[in-house]
Amino acid sequence: MYLRFAQLPLRFSSVSIALALSSTLFIPVSYALDDPDAVPEQDVERIRIQGSTQTQSGQFVSASQGWVSGDTLVERPMLRTGEMLEFIPGMMVTQHSGSGKANQYFLRGFNLDHGTDFAVSVDGMPVNMRSHGHGQGYSDLNFVIPEMVDNLSYFKGTYYANIGDFSSAGGAYFSSKDNLESNQLLVTLGEDNYRRAVTLNSASIGKGTAIAALEYQTYDGPWTDINEDVKKKNANLRYIVPLFDGELAISGMAYENNWNSADQVPARAIESGLIDRLGSIDTQVGGESSRYSLSAQYNSDTINASLYAIDTDLTLFSNFTYFLDKPDTGDQFEQADDRKIYGGELSTTLPLSTPFTVGDGSSITLGGQWRYDDIDNVGLYRTQDLQRLGTNGEDTVDESTVNESTIREDAIESSSYAAFAQSTIMLSDALSLSLGGRYDYFDVEVDGQSENSGSESDGMFSLKAGLKYRVADTVTTFANIGQGYHSNDARGTTITQDPVTGEAVEPAPLLVRSLGYETGINWTDDKTYNISAALWQLELDSELVYVGDAGFTEASRPSTRYGVELSAYYWLSHHLTADVEAAYTKARFSDNVDGEGDHIDGTVPVVVSAGATWYQRSNQQGFSYTLRARYLSSRTVDSFDVIEPPSTFLLNTQVAYQHSDWQVGLEILNLLDNDAHDIDYYYASRLPGEPEEGVEDLHYHPVEPRTVRLTFGIKY
């Protein structure tokens, strides 16, 4: 039986009760200043770009790296957890379906779908899922509790030897807190039954510190005919203890969620009055997801090591074409993914001396990585009203449709191993050279339909190089070049027959090469301003698109992307901060094909984010006022760029008051109540009464209307 309203296992019942009774949301705001001209770290947004953090990390080699504090992450008003990634200049996060699934990510001319070509990790654990039921690289961040994040480190481009799969566009590393300034009880109330409760507590145990964070959230959404009925539960238990000359952190995490979905809808259905802007065509779609993990990290000045084990599961029901393929039962389908992941990393950093080095700032890092995905089932099934065709929910079978239910059902074993080296060579006091390389080896085995089962393996060397020159104390320039890659869904590498049509299919390569170039500059004094700019280009040997509703991968044409990015942060006084981030991208296929254009679907040419925060405080208490704007230009949705969806402009604001022991805050999201689009697609679908071939149309997911959320909190 496949029921949307079925409850997940009751492993979280005690968590839910505890959170419902005691929780509040902590909103960091300003504190009084002993020196009125000083700007304390906790009072302003600290987004540190390479150049201002050279003393913090010698591993930064490009102008496109940065670091964001965890306190800063929770200062901005956010609609979704995944929007933490919007602190990365040029990154935009949206949603095309229910809020319980992974977001859509846009960066450097990519519609990263749910994570392809953007590598994400949390405490050393990979978030991207290989050969996933909903798409290669699927990255769901709903298991992260924002208040537990200590910092976010990000990078863009292919210039880093310690980074491998899914990182051609860039990536982000989330690190959890190792200590709490105080315990916190947190609660947020909002429209459409938005309820969020969080508690963070720490205690000394033996020689170490234990931290426990719990989260519970509900949300119905603003939709006309769908109650999202989100029930999200999170737990993060962490123990940190000194060991030898470093620190060992052991973490256990648990996440469960179930929801109903409001998918994208065709524009013609709204224009004709069939549904309103917040309506749906198929109201019986949704999903449930879970993730459990145990990890350990050891970090010292010379050694970094990590191990992890992850158990994750997703069941997702969708319907994007309605009655195009199956006029009688509809086009609803189920995607299932059930897997366990094991892996780890070990690296050591040593001083480096060569005839060319100057001083003692040169070093080399040597390391290795491994990962094993044991996928019990990754399946694709035809469904109707949340039940697979051939069943009626009562363990009986309709023989006339049972053979139509399963499109693909596979078990997959996927292993990867990597060795890397990254060196920093000081050629002078102002000039440094970075050289790096890595070798990746992949081995996959697919066990499913005989025509599409098999095994495949491949290996790839990737070389990296960069120059960094300090022009002055406040100005640093960079030049980088590097090879990268992304892996393909294992099912696409062994396929020979389309599981829907039965036609012959050409398998796709397991690994696809990318090549990136970049030059940039950073200008900062780390007290008043921080300005960075970068010019970049990225070439892909093949655009690979996984067709989720057919179970195979399409290998498309090679492509080239290039663009410019600018980020500027200014601390005007201890009362006022301002920032602006802007990115322009041009993305094109490199080869011409008759009947096809050269534009790449999903590209957002222009992305702009800007904001300001005013602080007013006295005696360790006071107000903060934040206003933020985000702009996405018209997206490319067809290869000729003929269809032009509207651009998106949103304003969010937040007002908060901080007392020494408590705080209260008010968020208004989509302040102007704009009827904008969160995401756009252009394809054929069929509504009742339309021709068999369907109608090509713009399909979009609307931005949620203006919503207000009120937050209370105490610290103890």
| Chain centre to alpha carbon of residue 397 | 40
Tell me the one-letter amino acid at 237. L
Nearest 10 degrees: CA dihedral of 6, 8, 9, 12? -140
Which residues contact residue 645 at a Cβ distance below 8 angstroms, ignoring those fewer than 6 apart? Answer: 634, 635, 637, 677, 680, 698, 700
In terms of pLDDT, which residue wins out, 667 or 116?
667
Count CA atoms within 13 Å of residue 130 on its CB side: 31
Three-state DSSP at 16 gives helix
User: Stretch 295-322: mean pLDDT, rounded?
Assistant: 97
DSSP string, 19-53: HHHS-----------SSTT---GGGS--EEETTS-
For residue 271, give the H/E element and its range: helix 267-271
Angle at 162 between CA 371 and CA 111, to 5 degrees: 80
pLDDT band at 323, cuts 50/70/90?
very high
Distance CA 285, CA 125 (A): 30
Q: Is the pLDDT of residue 73 over 70?
A: yes
* Token reading at 8: 């997940």
pLDDT (average), residues 600-610: 95
In the predicted structure, residue 150 carries a pLDDT above the cut 70: yes
How big is the chain by its Cα radius of gyration, in Å?
Answer: 25
pLDDT above 60: residue 169: yes
Determine the pLDDT at residue 275: 96
CATH fourth-level superfamily of 10-715: TonB-dependent receptor, beta-barrel domain (2.40.170.20)
pLDDT tier for residue 9 given thresholds of 50, 70 and 90: very low
CA–CA distance, 29 with 615 (Å, rounded to integer): 8
In which band, very low, low, confident or very high, does the pLDDT at 99 lie, cut at 50, 70 and 90?
Answer: confident
Specify the pLDDT at position 574.
Answer: 84
Beta bridge partners of 18: none
Per domain, the residue ranges of the chain are: 10-715
What is the tally of helices (H) and strands (E) in the chain? Answer: 5, 37
Q: What is the per-residue pLDDT across 203-228, written as a single tens digit (0 to 9) for each?
A: 999 999 999 999 999 999 999 999 99
Q: Which residue matches tokens 């099934």?
A: 381
**Partners of residue 21 on adjacent β-strands:** none
Residues 6+ apart with CB under 8 A from 35: none
Average model confidence (pLDDT) for the chain? 88
Residue type, 382: R
The pLDDT assigned to 403 comes to 60
**b or e along 622-649 (b: 16 or more beta carbons within 10 Å of the residue's beta carbon)?**
bebebbbbbbbbbbbbbbebebebbebe
- Overall average pLDDT of the 168-185 stretch: 96
Scan for tokens 């409850």, then name that residue: 7
644-676 pLDDT, tens digit each? 999 999 999 999 999 989 999 999 999 999 999
Q: In this structure, are residues 295 and 307 in contact, taking their beta carbons and an 8 Å threshold? A: yes
Residue with the bigger pLDDT between 653 and 30: it is 653
Residue 112 has pLDDT above 90, yes or no: no
**Measured between alpha carbons, how far is 174 from 81 in angstroms, rounded to an integer?**
13
Report the distance separating Cα 556 and Cα 76, nearest Å: 39
Per residue, the 3-state secondary structure of 554-600, as one string, reads EECCCEEEEEEEEEEEEECCCCEEEEEEEEEEEEEECCCCCCCCCEC
- Contact indicator for 676, 632 with CB cutoff of 8 Å: no
**559 phi/psi in degrees, rounded to 5:** -145, 160
Tokens at 492, concatenated: 């696409």
CA distances from 376 to 132, 338, 409, 413, 615 (A): 12, 6, 10, 9, 53
Which of residues 396 and 12 earns the better pLDDT score?
A: 396
pLDDT at 556: 83
pLDDT confidence tier of residue 454, bands split at 50, 70 and 90: very high
Query: Who's near 175: CB < 8 A, 6+ residues apart?
Result: 123, 149, 150, 151, 152, 153
Whether the Cβ atoms of residue 116 and residue 543 lie closer than 8 Å to each other: no
Quick one: tokens of 236?
Answer: 């993060």
Strand partners, 357: none
Q: How confident is the model at residue 59 (pLDDT cuts 50, 70, 90)?
A: low
The C-alpha angle 337, 136, 9, rounded to 5 degrees, equals: 25
Q: Considering all CA atoms of the chain, what is the largest pairwise distance in Å, rounded to the nearest integer?
A: 79
Contact present, 351 and 366 (Cβ < 8 Å): no
3 state DSSP class of 492: helix
The pLDDT value recorded for residue 16 is 38
- Rounded to whole angstroms, the Cα distance separating 143 from 133 reads 18
What are 505-539's pLDDT values in tens digits? 889 899 999 999 999 999 988 789 999 999 999 99
pLDDT, mean of residues 318-327:
94
Q: What percent of the chain has pLDDT over 90?
A: 77
Pair 145, 215: CB distance under 8 Å: yes
Residues 6+ apart with CB under 8 A from 85: 91, 93, 105, 120, 141, 172
Instruction: Identify the pLDDT of residue 397.
Output: 47
Q: Report whether 464 contacts 434 (CB < 8 A).
A: yes
Taking the C-alpha atoms of residue 146 and residue 149, their distance in angstroms, rounded to an integer, is: 5
Helix (H) or strand (E) holding 14: helix 13-21
Q: How far apart are CA 169 and CA 561, in angstroms?
A: 10
**Residue 320 — left, alpha, or beta (φ > 0 → left; ψ -120 to 50 → alpha)?**
alpha
At residue 392, the pLDDT reads 58
pLDDT at residue 114, as a whole number: 78
Q: Mind listing the pLDDT tens digit for each residue in 360-402?
A: 889 999 999 999 999 999 999 999 999 999 765 554 445 555 4
| Confidence label for 603 from pLDDT (cuts 50, 70 and 90) | very high
- What does the buried/exposed string (b/e) look like for 21-35 if buried means 16 or more CB atoms within 10 Å of the residue's CB? eebbbbbbbbbebee
**pLDDT-wise least confident of 55-69, 180-194, 557-571:** 55-69
Instruction: Report pLDDT for 19.
Output: 34
Q: By the 8 A CB rule, do 219 and 193 touch?
A: yes
473 Cβ contact list (under 8 Å, min separation 6) = none
The percent of residues above 70 in pLDDT, for the chain, comes to 88
The structure tokens listed for 183 are 């315990």
